């Protein structure tokens, strides 16, 4: 069986490729269908990287997300950010993260520094 795979150039091409990926999702390894799935997934990923860029998260949103993930309270951020007032200012976006805060949050909570630095 010959598979007709073409470059993704339009939104319609992208939608068709995603539909086909859905059809091929459970293809057994080592089959032509699995190879087609691999090729289509690579094409879709390349097209999306150029046409649908993902913006990095806002530093405060990333911090709030990590707090939720780890079940942290505002009080538990004090060693990384400073006083209770300072934590409140940062989380309400009235004060930006300082370089020292970024370093402590990165080291202590594992949040990527480039996310904490922001845009």
> pLDDT tens across 20-73, in order?
999 999 999 999 999 999 999 999 999 999 999 888 889 999 999 999 999 999
Q: What pLDDT does 55 receive?
A: 84
Domain-wise residue ranges, the chain: 11-51, 59-117
Are 80 and 104 contacting, i.e. CB atoms less than 8 angstroms apart? Answer: yes
Which of helix, strand or coil describes residue 49?
helix
Q: What pLDDT does 16 receive?
A: 93
Distance separating alpha carbons of residues 85 and 91, to the nearest angstrom: 10
Are 14 and 45 contacting, i.e. CB atoms less than 8 angstroms apart? Answer: no
Distance separating alpha carbons of residues 41 and 10, to the nearest angstrom: 16
| Topology classification of domain 59-117 | 434 Repressor (Amino-terminal Domain) (1.10.260)
């Amino acid at each position: 069986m010959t598979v007709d795979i073409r470059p993704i150039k339009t939104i319609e091409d992208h939608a068709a490729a995603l539909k086909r990926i859905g059809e091929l999702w459970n293809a057994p390894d080592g089959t032509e269908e699995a190879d087609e799935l691999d090729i289509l997934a690579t094409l879709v990923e390349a097209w999306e990287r150029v046409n649908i860029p993902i913006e990095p998260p806002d530093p405060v949103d990333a911090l709030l997300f990590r707090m939720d993930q780890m079940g942290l309270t505002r009080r538990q951020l004090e060693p990384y950010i400073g006083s209770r007032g300072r934590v409140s200012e940062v989380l309400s976006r009235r004060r930006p993260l300082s370089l020292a805060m970024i370093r402590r949050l990165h080291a202590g909570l594992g949040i990527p520094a480039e996310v904490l630095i922001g845009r």
